[in-house]
Amino acid sequence: MDKFSIIIPVHNEAKNLKILIPKIYRELKNRKFEIIIVDDSSTDATSKVLKKFKKKNFHHIIRKDKRDLSKSCILGFKKSRYNYIVVMDGDLQHKPSNIKKFLNTFRKTRPDIIVGTRDLFKDKKHNLNIFRLFASRILILIVKLLLGSKTSDPMSGFFMFKKKIFTKYQKRLVKKGYKILLDLLYNNNQKIKVVDVKINFDSRTKGKSKMSVKILFYLIYMIFAKFFIKIKA
């Protein structure tokens, strides 16, 4: 796998992106990739910051609609040129250096999806606030109970996958919400090979987390919807 696309959905991450993007280029120099930033209707200086990056493999898409993380990711998937896709957040919690781990693991194991995982039940270095930690633990337990255990961290926003997993089954996706990985993993009982890669997440130092009680309940609803689709299949 010589070429890959990096999709970064963002909303109001101007301060983080001016640090993140140069980091990605430093970490992945001499590799063939593209960066696609999908700006999900930001109201801060995100657009202004992104206009400063002029590289040919850098693309900035503005999505003008009701904010939706999954729809932003899907827009990025459709615009991507390469057969392998990395998805990561724009808040500096996901280290670009871990992309190298994903690439090495892909070469060795040839999975369909690689998930950057945290052990939110044992590892104390998770760098999450109390609400996000509680929400993530609850969601992981519900997923494992209702949908099975394809990965130890189905709530991760940092992963890599073969683009054909999306293109082949995209008609079956929910295509909205806040966790596109969950949608890809539990898509109408398709059989896929999933490999976990343990990584450490950094703390958010700038901007605000997008997790809320509303999003938590939506994700619980989505998990149950996937469960009922599963038992009917």
pLDDT tens digit sequence for 183-218 = 898 875 678 999 999 988 776 666 666 567 777 777
Mean pLDDT, the chain, as a whole number?
86
User: CA–CA separation, 44 vs 25, rounded Å?
Assistant: 24
pLDDT digits (tens, 9 = 90+) for 31-76: 999 999 999 989 999 999 999 999 999 999 999 888 888 999 999 9
| pTM assigned to the model | 0.87
Indicate if the pLDDT at residue 105 is higher than 70: yes
pLDDT for the residue numbered 80: 97
Domains, the chain, in order of start with CATH, read 3-127+151-208 (3.90.550.10)
Pairwise pLDDT comparison (2 vs 69), residue with the higher score: 69
